[in-house]
Amino acid sequence: MQFNNNDSGSSLQSEINITPLVDVVLVLLIIFMVVVPLLMEGYDVDIPRASADTSTPVAESQLILSIGSAACPIFTPPAGEGIPKNCQVTLADQKIPVAELPARVAAILGGRPAEQRALFLAVDDRLNYEAVLRIIDLAKSGVEDLKIEFVAAN
């Protein structure tokens, strides 16, 4: 028996095979270079047309969600996730706790064809921006393809 492994044909390979590691790292590098820094997420919204005349009557089918600062006093970024419990919003002239919003929006708009699913938002100016986005997020979780449009708050 030969103890000198260096001379035998089937010598043990003591080095780790790092070729797969290199492959994976290269792919990771490419992903980080190309994709990560530039992706954004958010919400598509429509802006009220300030120049249009406001005398046109509001269509019956328009679903208006009002967020007032009296019923929903959030003036600083809400901590954690979700909306504080003390927030109430007005959906189609009915005052509801904000937690019920997804179900209500789904009940009203769920039966309509996708292109008619629009929610008109009247938001008080003093509210915190993050809170407004979270309420939009909540409303959008009720139905798919919900269009959001801002209207002037009363």
Partner 1 sequence: MRLGEPARMQAAINITPLVDVVLVLLIIFMVMAPQMRKGPDVNLPNTTKPNSQGDERGRILVSIDEAGGLWINDQPVAAEHFDETLRAAVGAETNPKIVIRGDAKLNFREVREVMVAIEQTGFRGVGLIAKRAGAEGK
Which position among 40, 93, 115, 154 is part of the footprint of partner 1 (CB under 8 A)? 40
Q: Is 130 in the site for partner 1 (CB under 8 A)?
A: yes
Write out the E strands in 47-87.
63-67
Taking the C-alpha atoms of residue 22 and residue 4, their distance in angstroms, rounded to an integer, is 32
Contact 87, 97 (CB under 8 A): yes
Minimal distance, residue 120 CB to partner 1, in Å: 14
Task: Name, in order, each residue with C-beta under 8 angstroms of 106's C-beta and a sequence gap of 6 or more.
Answer: 142, 143
Query: For residue 148, how many other CB atoms are within 10 A of its CB?
Result: 16
Q: What letter would DSSP give residue 145? A: T
Site string for partner 1, 89-128 (x = CB under 8 A): ----------------------------------xxxxxx
Name which of 11 and 86 has its Cβ closer to partner 1. 11
Which position among 48, 73, 84, 97 is part of the footprint of partner 1 (CB under 8 A)? 48
In the complex, the residues that contact partner 1 under the rule CB under 8 A are 18-19, 21-22, 25-26, 28-29, 32-33, 36-51, 75-77, 81-82, 123-130, 132-134, 136-137, 140-141, 150
